[in-house]
Amino acid sequence: MLRADFFERFGMLVVKEFLDDETCRRLRRAVRTAVPTRAAVWNKEIGKIVDEDARRTTRAKVTKRIESFVERRLLALRPRVARHFGVTLRGVQTPQFLVYGPGDFFECHSDSNPDPNAPRYLQERCVTAVLFLNGSRRRRGGEASTGGGLTFPGLIEEPRLKSRGFPVQAEAGTLIAFRSELAHGVTPVSCGERYTVVGWYV
Ligand SMILES: O=C(O)CCC(=O)C(=O)O
């Protein structure tokens, strides 16, 4: 795994300590007590479906209060995100709270789809923000998970490295933002639970 800063050289925005440890702990608790649902994917032929060959992830239905709290924090970052990516952003879609248990993963995909037949929420996505609520290594007693790397394949043009995925090693509270069309996935979690929040700037 590579430290989050490494990804800045590919134009990504990395914000360390976007949330403090106590807030991450509070959000993890909120996620654990929320109603769990199986996260879906969008399929061109079928529409929105749960397809566990492509994605095995739990989406936690947290309270509106928790959802709005994270949404406000993401909105506060919007001017910096817009400047960084050189785009105009008018808002952020409702963030999704995700949990990956052992064996859970998300195949390589992109978050936006320019196809005029795709749902509007996919057409509109411009920048994806992934917020890590726990880390991939133990730090100050935080609950860490292993495996479950947010991975970006094809970052390096060199033929030998082109097909290789580069997984991020992030700490709790770190946010990483990238253009929504960029291919990414989450490798299977091997141990513990991995908690993230994903938001999309439009
Ligand atoms: O949980 C993550 O790290 C990424 C989730 C993701 O790729 C997505 O929701 O599109």
Q: pLDDT tier at 137 (50, 70, 90 boundaries)?
A: low
User: Does the pLDDT value for residue 37 go beyond 60?
Assistant: yes
CA 8–ligand 1 middle distance (angstroms): 18
Query: CA-to-CA distance for 13 and 158, rounded, in angstroms?
Result: 23
Q: For position 142, what pLDDT does the model report?
A: 59
Query: CA-to-CA distance for 13 and 175, rounded, in angstroms?
Result: 8
CA 105–ligand 1 middle distance (angstroms): 9
Q: Which amino acid is present at 125?
A: R
CA 108–ligand 1 middle distance (angstroms): 10
User: From the CB of 98, is ligand 1 less than 6 Å away?
Assistant: yes
User: Does the pLDDT value for residue 140 go beyond 90?
Assistant: no
- List, for residues 80-122, the tens digit of each pLDDT value: 999 999 999 999 999 999 999 999 999 999 999 999 999 999 9
Lowest-confidence segment of 49-58, 96-105, 163-172 by average pLDDT: 163-172
Question: What does the chain come to in residues?
Answer: 202
**DSSP string over the chain:** -EEGGGGGGGT-EEETTSS-HHHHHHHHHHHHTSEEEEPPEEETTTEEE--TTTEE-EEEE--HHHHHHHHHHHHHHHHHHHHHHT-----BPPPEEEEE-TT-EEEEE-S----TTS-HHHHH--EEEEEESS-SS--TT----EE--EEEET-S-SHHHHT-EEEEE--TT-EEEEETTS-EEEPPEEES-EEEEEEEE-
Q: pLDDT tier at 146 (50, 70, 90 boundaries)?
A: confident
Residue nearest atom 10 in ligand 1 by C-alpha distance: 111
Q: For position 141, what pLDDT does the model report?
A: 52
CA 130–ligand 1 middle distance (angstroms): 7
Mean pLDDT to the nearest integer, 129-147: 78
Write down the pTM of the prediction: 0.94
CA 129–ligand 1 middle distance (angstroms): 9
Q: What is the mean pLDDT of the chain?
A: 92
Residue nearest atom 9 in ligand 1 by C-alpha distance: 198
Q: For position 90, what pLDDT does the model report?
A: 97
- List, for residues 93-104, the tens digit of each pLDDT value: 999 999 999 999
Residue among 150, 179, 201 whose CB has most ligand 1 atoms within 8 A, to mutate: 150
Query: CA-to-CA distance for 171 and 185, rounded, in angstroms?
Result: 18
Q: Which atom of ligand 1 is nearest to the CA of 132?
A: 3
Q: pLDDT tier at 165 (50, 70, 90 boundaries)?
A: confident
Q: Which atom of ligand 1 is nearest to the CA of 98?
A: 1
Q: For position 57, what pLDDT does the model report?
A: 97
Mean pLDDT to the nearest integer, 63-69: 98
